[in-house]
Copies of this chain bind each other. A is one copy, B any other.
Amino acid sequence: MENWITSNAKNEDLVLSSRIRLARNLDKTSFPHKLEIDKRKELIKLVENAFYTFSQKDDEFKTIYLWEKENIFNETFLERHLISKKLLDNESSAAFIVDKNETVSIMINEEDHIRIQSITAGFNLDEALDLSNKIDNLLEEKLDYAFDERLGYLTACPTNIGTGLRASVMIHLPAIGLSNKMNGVVNAITQVGMTVRGLFGEGSKTIGNIYQISNQITLGLSEEEILTNLKVVVNQIIHEENLLKEDIIKRYKYEIEDRIYRALGILKAAILLSSDECLKLLSDVRMGVEMGIIKDVDKVVLNKLLVETQNATIQQAVNKELSNKEKEFNRAKLVRERITEKVS
């Protein structure tokens, strides 16, 4: 699978990534929040043993133990969408197995014992589901999952019971944002059992017009139905976004060009750049690329910047903690360098 940050998926311009997450728990074992630390660490061993018995080479997969001292910037994993906020909260006894390409992540001791996640570039939910299912099947050969014939997979939170599946797409909707129509979209989505989150998942701000749209319901639907529903909703939203873009260009050509070129000009010029402003400006530039107004900026550069300009990644790059102003300075410097970079 293609890493969403570094690959240029051509199939759908607005969708940055597609993600599948499966929640799994071991039978006859308390959920993580009820386990002692040593029991949790045993559980990590158990999952590792199950996973590494298969033909995966060591240099293809590795386990990252969040409590280890060298991992001072665990938040960078969250910023690369490899782990959840919840796993980070449990860092004293949580770990995840990740592939070299960073498209698969098996979180251990999140809210559930195991969270299998696969994330790929573009609008490719089926591909992501295939991979998650393969890993799920591998693990199931060695592990005894908590499963109820009637309910399906049992999970710590009742909202995940059933398939334990969350399918989500990360999508850029600048025209909907500009037209103040996102509230309407959120209401419509919620009514069909979907939910909208910000760039960094649950509880994160919806800044820079990037949204994660995912299924809310996992019970009573097959995996296929969940994916189909999500695809229909996302395609409708893409249609709406494209109509609005055409309308904006027709009615506000100069205003929108002004906004887009100013954003690019500021990103090329700024000496200090806050994270929020950076995301907003990147969104304007991305809109310019989507509209064909900006031709010399590659979307892969914009994807990379989404991650690289985040607070933890900025600090990890220099391997030390930075003051707010230092972060803003380093962020602006990085953006100035990257934004003129050509990637094909």
Contact = CB atoms under 8 A, between A and B. Distances in A.
Size category, A interface? 10 to 19
Contacts of A254: 271-272, 325, 328-329
Interface in A311-344: 325, 328-329, 332
Interface in A200-250: none
Nearest to A267: B265
Contact of A255 (B257, B258, B272): B272
A116 to B, nearest CB: 44
A264 interface: yes
Contacts of A268: 265
A61 interface: no
A31 interface: no
A269 B268 CA distance: 10
A262 interface: yes
Contacts of A272: 254-255, 258
Contacts of A261: 269-271
Contacts of A325: 254
A266 interface: yes
A288 to B, nearest CB: 11
Contact of A262 (B257, B258, B266, B328): B266
A265 B268 CA distance: 7
Contact of A270 (B258, B269, B271): B258
Interface string A66-85: 00000000000000000000
Interface in A155-190: none
A328 B257 CA distance: 13
Interface string A91-115: 0000000000000000000000000
Nearest to A255: B272
The 6 closest A-B pairs by CB, nearest first: A265-B269, A258-B271, A265-B265, A258-B272, A261-B269, A257-B271
Given A254-B272, A262-B266, A266-B266, 5 more contacts: A254-B271, A254-B329, A258-B271, A262-B271, A265-B268
